Amino acid sequence: MIFADLFFIYCFLPLCLLAYFVARSLPAKNTVLIVFSLIFYAWGEPLWIILLIFSAFLNWFTGLLIERGRGGGSAKAALAAGIVIDIGLLVIFKYSGFIVENINLLTGAQLPVPQIRMPIGISFFTFQAISYILDCYWESVKVQKRFSRFLLYLSLFPQLIAGPIVRYSVVEDEIEERSASATDLCEGALRVMLGLGKKVILANNLWAIVDTFFGKDIAGLSVLGTWYTVITYSLYVYFDFSGYSDIAIGLGRMFGFHFDENFRHPFACKTIAEFWQRWHISLGSFFRDYLLYVPIFGKNRKYVSLFLVWFCTGVWHGAAWNYIIWGLYFGCFIFFEQKLGKKRIKKWPLWWKHIYSKLVIIIGFGIFYFEDLGQLGQFFLNLTGVSMFTNAAPFFDPITWASFLNNLFLVLGSVICSLPVLPKVKSFFLESRSDQLYMAGRVGSVVLCLGVLAIVSILLVDSTNNVFLYWRF
């Protein structure tokens, strides 16, 4: 099941909310959420729900073993076993085919390539499980004694499929005790509508542009056409994924959970380090807290850890070489900025910092898109203009110009919405000391979001493909 679907919006979610608020006790409410979460996952993955429940039981039991063996070697052994099994399952389902393909390529072997369908959301719920058992071992959280409560944490449908990666520490108290006020319901619903608008109104239409130009052999694509499309793709990825995160955070709020933000207007950044402090925050903080400062062979090795973090960031996104290149690409710029130092970067003119950061980010998204390395190479030839000499590609073409003119308001609107313009307008009204301005801001927010929901509903009537990009990761 997906969020950007009329059945979810007008059937599944209202039924879930009705059952949730009819239930009086917290255990009953938790049971409602577990049942609906498992139905949500089983809707598209009826078989792999077994894997989800197994992962929940495994990591819940690992937490109990860590608690029982606290202070001894058995706790460390339980932690190691839990991580090995978690990573092992992830490797089997997500990377086995990629590994075998590369073994065949390097050795000339003819090993059969496994054709295993990857369970949806396995990267997200596996990382949540690993963060839990590590936090249990480090005594950052209390070990959850009840399996039902841990299953709720791991399977909670708002963030189950594509994040954000919610740490157990974030919802630990709310699993035990929470309430959802009228304000939570209202604010959560408005956030959901905003996320749906990002996905259906902006991301889906941006993707239509990308697919027109990048969905075929790009050898003949013009230089400006390549730049136009990769910029559009960058905006698409942002609105698709941040839209999902908005929906997840809003749904959580409606049930009394307060998830951390996953995006903070990343295109407003001035450096690559700042970009990653604003982009997919839950993944970046996961690697920072659980990998960057882990001693390697008994010592903290700063640059080796930095390499591992960005290698793993790339690998996490997919079983293809372009994702590894993409991760290391950003790692190189993080390394460059660290060596240069914050003081030197601070002296750069503001305009140069924005140009530098946006060029690096946009080119990075091009690497992210092309899993075919041949097409990736052609992308760089097009981007730099070399393709004008190698295969007589044009610098400019009328099809690109026509597409730009036809989608001018979509692209410009997307650029504006990607920057913290609307939040500043909202804060002007809602933080005003004038009661009239405050009420105008409140009413305006509700009217705007309801209008977005109406447009989304109309667009979804005949729509059949609204899968979020990060579902495949």
Kindly list the catalytic residues: 317
By C-alpha distance, which of 388, 269, 396 is closest to 333?
269
Residues contacting residue 296 through CB under 8 Å, at least 6 positions apart: 304, 305, 308
Q: Is 183 exposed, middle or buried (0-12, 13-18, 19+ CB in 10 A)?
A: exposed
- In 44-70, which positions are buried (b, 16+ CB within 10 angstroms) versus exposed (e)? ebeebbebbbebbebbbebbbbbbebe
265: left (phi over 0), alpha (psi -120 to 50) or beta: left
Residue whose entry in the numeric block shows the structure tokens 């809707």: 43
By C-alpha distance, which of 273, 270, 254, 250 is closest to 262?
250
Tokens found for residue 463 = 């729509």
Tokens found for residue 119 = 């369970």
Tokens found for residue 235 = 């905006």
Rounded Cα distance between 388 and 272, Å, is: 30
Rounded Cα distance between 369 and 229, Å, is: 11
Dihedral (Cα; 274, 419, 200, 218), 10-degree rounding: -70
Tokens found for residue 62 = 């690992």
Cβ-contact 123, 316 below 8 angstroms: yes
Residues contacting residue 119 through CB under 8 Å, at least 6 positions apart: 45, 48, 51, 52, 93
Residues contacting residue 250 through CB under 8 Å, at least 6 positions apart: 187, 188, 189, 190, 191, 192, 193, 194, 195
Cβ-contact 326, 317 below 8 angstroms: yes
State residue 87 phi and psi, 5-degree precision: -65, -35
Beta bridge partners of 299: 296
